[in-house]
Structure 1
Amino acid sequence: MSSQALVRVEGVVEDAGGFDLLAPEGTRYRVDVTDAVFDPGNSLLAERLEGRRVVAFVGPTVHRLYGERLRAYLDARLAPGSWSVHVIATGERNKTLASVEQVCAVAKAAGLDRHGVMLAVGGGIVADVVGFAASMYARGIRYIKVNTTLVGQVDVGVGVKTGVNALHSKNMFGAYHPAHASLNDPSLLATLPPREIRCGLAEIVKMAVILDGDLFATLERHPDAFLHTPNGDVETYVLRTSMRLMMEELCPNLRESELARLVDFGHTFSPVVETAGGHRLEHGEAVAVDMALSAHIARLLGLADADTCERIVALLTRIGLPVLDPATCTEDLMTQALQASWQRRGRKLHLVVPTGIGKATFVEELTDLPAEVLREALRALGAGGGAQ
């Protein structure tokens, strides 16, 4: 035995190339930040693939934009005949067990063995579907993510959850299956439509509200980040800060043994807003509505002052996100959302509400949120969103 003690450092470590995470229960993974990920001169993706057989999956839009570059990269970097690229359907309606089974069927037909790698290139839905397929295929194989959306880079791409919608519920089936590698190239965000950028910004606002007042203030100064006036320094700060905050918050509770999680801010009412609305709203838009409603609830319960509530709702509005969806933001449906969250979270509500900018707490019990408070919060949003 060596006389030099081995030191185990748990947590998140940031360097110029990305982030390393080591959770208390032993899970370890890395999230890389790189430029020109599909340039054959960039060896990072090839290094993570390690010369294994690869079956890659992309959505239709990503295939149109980057399919040719992806194939050229794999052709230049991998052995002939060791890889293939396949297009899969995207959108919430295709985030299903049937899609997972189809991914597995394609992989089997391509000869993917237990040492092979599934490569997911796209946004959160592609990562969720392919990641869940990888968790089941041959009882679990490696998968790698190249995240092409802002939501993917700051949220899905830095965690370990995979899942699909089922039984009229979001992410009803899934697994904790850490990616072997998660690669983020900020230049890929340049091709995103504004709506997708705003959805990503919703998840960034979430992290700012619960954890980082400086990040929130930066977004107030630059609500058009990643949109109309690119600012490399600002966007780098926003992107990397959001990624680090998410990983630091996930790390001690990676597999959710504790069901009270600050990162669930915006994710109590939003599942019903999405599903009851037939996915008319994107996930980030539903999260924005949830955050605005939760801010008003905090104000009415005396947990946050009117200025905090006003700033949160105003920032969401300035970014261009909705703060109310009249078709789904009814007292009946939002009560159903509370009941569903209470049941899913071990019969505790664990509703995350802000107590200030950069600070949050939990409303733990259903009885702590009287019906008249929910009703008044919805009325305030309907009256224009600001604190009344």
Structure 2
Amino acid sequence: MTRRTSASWNSMISCYAHSGNFAEALTLFERMLKEKARPNEITVVTLLSICAKLGDLKTGLKIKCLISDMGLTTDLIVRTAVLEMYVKCGYAQNGRPDEALELFEMMKAENCKPNEVTLVSVLSASAQLGSVEFGQHIGSYIESQELASGVYVGSALVDMYSKCGNIGGARRLFSKMKQRDVITWNSMIAGLAFNGFAQEAFDLYHRMRDQHFKPTDVTFVGLLTACTHTGRVEQGLAFFRSMKREHGIAPKVEHCACIVDLFCRSGRLEDAYKFIREMETEPNVVIWGTLLSACRIHSNVELAEVAVKKLVVLEPNNSSNYVLLSNIYANAGRWEEARKMRDLMRCKNVQKLYAYSWIELEGAVHKFLVDDTSHPSCDEIYKAVDGLSLQLKWVGYDPNLELI
């Protein structure tokens, strides 16, 4: 073709996208821009869909800037595509939750009724954030607009309520739902498990079976989590064994991680290590990290060394593994080994990363780290912490300072 129109470019980009050739589609888009062809809403929606599937937030943000330049920020279909891209790229983990939530609020303000895709995307995002206030806000909106009747939105709302700590809201909505699928049941079981209602999660599982819903691998993550949080080792092992034997579900690494955590929380570190050695799937950083953390609590130097040897191969630049083993050596009085671990960190140029803690107060999210003095209310915060520490001592709490 001597002269390519926007339609011809869109056609080729869509063909690549539908056939799974995402890299070629993005390359073609770059050529389109170089040749001064003008993209339209069809182009950007297709490209945002590609970014969502690839989890490519960087390219997605570039396209979002292009959308602003093109004056398409008010287009409902484009907005929905941007919102879905944010969610599927894990914008909550990338520190960009506000942009998607603002986009959703703008849609509401302009009386653009969100569709099912938008609602499920926003609920998923809110669940990831665990923001109680925003979770309540969006939940009230969806229920007041009678948008929770569909099984997909209803299930996502149950999941969001649970992850925001509103287990009462999750229970109420679940009981009201006229239609439920296995995702709905899984969301409610997991919600009960994560909020400490283990027995209720088990009872709901039996109700699910009685109503002829077949459990999935996600069901068992919820059940094993319930066992982990309540120290029910034998029941957890029974659920784990039943997966393959009774339901034909091959355990995944997530299920194995639950069993390792279950053993570790019960102080059975040798059983945890034996289980790891016999796993059919390859242990990941979560599993070895769980064992290492338990070794610190129970002062098991030998198993800690085993775990760290695996972890430094899987994630060589994670400073916490070196620091944990160094602290374990120090607590055992093995100062020379502790020093060598710190020296090894310096030799490998591994930088210690400081983790932030987050707290939501009156709709605002505050972050802080150890010995942080940057907050404007720093003096009041430290006074409150000192007061809480005194109250804990009065009721007999004796913190183990070696684990701090």
Q: Same fold (TM over 0.5)?
A: no
Which structure would you say has the larger RCO, counting Cα contacts within 8 Å and 6 or more residues apart?
Answer: 1
TM-score by length of 1: 0.30
